[in-house]
A and B are shown apart, each in its own frame.
Chain A
Amino acid sequence: MYLQGQNGLMATWREGFRSRALSAWIIAALMVGFYIDLYWFDHFQPLAEAVGLRNKWYLYGALYCLFMVGGAVYHLRRHGNSRYNQARIATNVGVQVLLAFLLPFVMPLFGGKEFYFSYFWPLKYDLLLPDTIWQLPLYLAIYGLVGSLLLAPVMAFFFGKRWYCSWVCGCGGLANTYGDPWRHLTSTSTRAWRFEQVAIHVVLGLVVFMTGVMGIKALIGHDHPGFVVFADHTKSFYGFLVGSVLSGVVGTGLYPLLGPRVWCRNFCPMAALLGLVQKLGRFRIAVKDDMCISCGNCSAYCEMGIDVRSYAQSNQSFTRAACVGCGMCAHVCPRGVLRLENRFDAQGDKDKQHIVVLDF
């Protein structure tokens, strides 16, 4: 296998489980069932204890890693002739196994706090809540605050939100590994785009509201017991709707039918926030002028449903808030038209000369 070029995508629409055949519906039903049981029943608790994991959430963590490793093998067999894919998938799996499973599992054994270093607010929505912060050792509280409010946005400004969504985040990691067979199913339609615009910003608004309410509760809760009830209800409603239903049941369960980034694209408040930063930042997808043949591979294999072709065929380098920088559009382009870049020198663009001379 040599870098660049090889095509692992052929036969996509000839494999039933990748093209919404009965097998795809069965996989989706099993996953939805799994999440419902995980969140609202306790059947997995004895199983977790039987294999020596403290509770069902560690079992879930172990299964999560297993699915990611399996999916990573699948991904790299198809798209592994790209250094970007190799580095990205390896980092993502490594972060998940070490920071989101082994470390939180081991830390309590040494009297530490169970803490997930790879998740930040607003994805990990309770990280900035006073209730949480006061229970954390000081260094972890500072890590959470600085990571969420400074590190994540600053990194997104310079490298795009991909540094998180496609290299670090567990949700993105699962989407890019276990979810890889279904990346072409993300809808590129205008209707899907309109839904995304509304939904993702509503969730962002909700998490800001919920965080604010919990902050106020910490300030005035002593004197207003009614507000405490309201704040706690707000938090549990958010946890139920966003934390369980949208991120788990819908966001992961429906991969085989709606594509692997249902959660990231439509509901993740972290993606919304970093997307806004990305629009102002340095990351972009550069388009080589007048070389696009409008074949549609970039748009079809964009897991975020971005119509990349519409930019490529009109010679427009672009930055979209939704783009998670997985790099697949550039990878699948048969004419090498696209390239992801962190632009530190905008001058290059102005020097670019257009080739086709049109006299009108």
Chain B
Amino acid sequence: MHHVIIGNGVAGIEAAIALRRRHEDARITLVSEESEHFFSRTALMYILAGQLTHRDTEPYERDLYARMGFTRVRARAIGVDPAARSVRLAGDLAPLSYDRLLIASGSRPRPAPWPGGDLPGIGTFVTHQDLAWLERELHGGPGRGGAAPAADAHLSASTDDSPYRQRPVARTLRGSPPQNPMVIGGGLIGIEVIETMLAAGLKPRFVIREEFFWPMAIDAAESAWIQERLREHGVDVLTATQIERFEGDGAVERAVLDSGQTVPCDLCVVAIGVMPNTDWLADSGIERDPGGGIVVGPDLRSSAPGVYAAGDCASVTWFNGSRRPEQLWYTSRDQGRVAAAAMSGDDVAYKRGHWYNSAKLIDIEYTTAGLVDFGYDDLWSWFHEERGAVRSTTRIVCRPGEGDQARVVGFNMLGRRWDHTVLIRWIAERRSLSWVLDHLSEARFDTELVPPLRIPPEARRAPDAAAR
């Protein structure tokens, strides 16, 4: 039995490990263009900042492939022929035939859609190759921890439209470091790049299309709070602002905004989202959703026999019945494991529990759990802001419960650490707001000696009907 896995990310590698546990002698081949070793993509910003080395970001030791007997192919997969059960590879490589195929090719960054968006000095920050580019723009090269191993090994088996190509560096063309960096896109990757630019001693401009930062996850009050912190750090935050075009002679020099204003810009990181990395499947006949995600059933099987998908490229059914990819680290890991079980013939189903996530926005920790904003119109929030030794906001999302009670359905917490497993248990137990406020300290996960959150009695009262 030959298991072929396209992708060396968390879904692919966890599937490979799970397959090896099941099948001691099976042939397992991992095809990946991007990197020599499995790494944590969420840690890219720390390599950029000089906080970690490439090796630090690799969750397993480098002998994993040899120890597990995985064959690793550094090449771009350019197509699948489900009838012949084979994968076409770029370069002069022979097609790979498979018995079971797992597509775990992840996401690719959404490119700059504006005129001039392809000028040197404009790029994204999703891949190892993006990292190498941005290290050269920001710092003139990799840190003393070194560059990624075998960073060029895939170039002989790649294509021009690959997100893993290298690109020209404006700093080199210009001969001087950037002075007016810009980041576009009010989301997580955007704010991570802002943080690394601040650490590099630069004062970036943050261009956000929406009315406030990260409307996907936080509300206007929470966002105002983060934008205040960004401005304290010297970031020029421009909300409700769009780009008209970029201009420059050989490399980017200016950005023209939709207000008509022209601002200097010699480095621009575009962080306006990612999309499933599935263009290469266009002629395969494998069904994809309108966004490009590979449509899979509960067992992560695609429309083609013997072909499965997991991770960012798989369009799964959510708890509320909608269908789209789940672009999260731990769900990709779980999907990889479920796919491996399904590929081994088990009767399995991938089930996602309550929504939860966490992040760090510059120096503000963020935890969310349950229903915070999924389009339900009977939700309202209890909100408390703490300004002391710890600055935090606590938002508890409620729905009408039994009688006069407000039932807690979600949490959005900034500035403190919370145990999401406890928060989710309370949601599942259909706890009331007053009960949750009484017990909130049980969900604390702050480091030791941090003073606990104290909610003053006047703030404890649930808002009256008018305020709802």
Contact = CB atoms under 8 A, between A and B. Distances in A.
Contacts of A14: 50, 139, 143-144
Interface string B389-419: 1110000000000000000000000011111
A197 interface: no
Contacts of B143: 13-14, 19
Interface stretch (A38-46, A121-129, A296-304): A296-304
B447 A294 contact: no
Contacts of A9: 51
17 contacts: A4-B363, A11-B200, A83-B389, A83-B450, A84-B450, A190-B61, A291-B330, A294-B40, A294-B42, A294-B43, A295-B57, A296-B57, A310-B59, A339-B448, A340-B448, A359-B351, A360-B348
Interface string A120-152: 000000000000000000000000000000000
Interface stretch (B95-103, B104-112, B334-342): B334-342
Given A82-B447, A294-B10, A6 B389 contact: no
A20 B53 CA distance: 13
Interface in A281-299: 288-297, 299
Interface stretch (B158-166, B420-428, B455-463): B420-428
B219 interface: no
Nearest to A9: B51
A109 B199 CA distance: 51
Interface in B354-381: 354, 356, 358-360, 362-365, 367
Contact of B349 (A5, A6, A7, A359): A359
Interface of B: 10, 40, 42-43, 46, 49-53, 56-59, 61, 139, 143-145, 195-196, 199-200, 329-331, 334, 337-338, 341, 346, 348-354, 356, 358-360, 362-365, 367, 389-391, 415-421, 424-425, 445-451
Given A21-B144, A294-B10, 5 more contacts: A11-B50, A295-B40, A296-B56, A341-B448, A355-B424
A294 B50 contact: no
A295 to B, nearest CB: 4
A327 interface: yes
B52 A13 contact: yes
A212 to B, nearest CB: 39
A293 B334 contact: no
A295 B42 contact: yes
B56 A299 contact: yes
Interface string A87-116: 100000000000000000000000000000
Interface string A1-25: 0111111011111111001110000
Contacts of B417: 4, 336, 339
Given A13-B53, A21-B144, A295-B43, A355 B448 contact: no
A319 interface: no
A3 B421 CA distance: 23
B135 to A, nearest CB: 10
A13 to B, nearest CB: 4
B449 A356 contact: no
Q: Which range holds the interface residue count of chain A?
A: 35 or more
Nearest to A342: B448
A294 B329 CA distance: 9
A289 B350 CA distance: 18
A189 to B, nearest CB: 8
B363 A339 contact: no
A347 interface: no
Nearest to A335: B358
Contacts of A5: 360, 362-365, 415
Contacts of A12: 50-51
Contacts of A309: 59
Contacts of A340: 447-448
A7 B348 CA distance: 42
A-B pairs with lowest CB-CB distance, top 9: A295-B43, A336-B417, A5-B363, A83-B449, A10-B199, A19-B144, A13-B143, A14-B50, A10-B49
B138 to A, nearest CB: 10
A296 B354 CA distance: 26
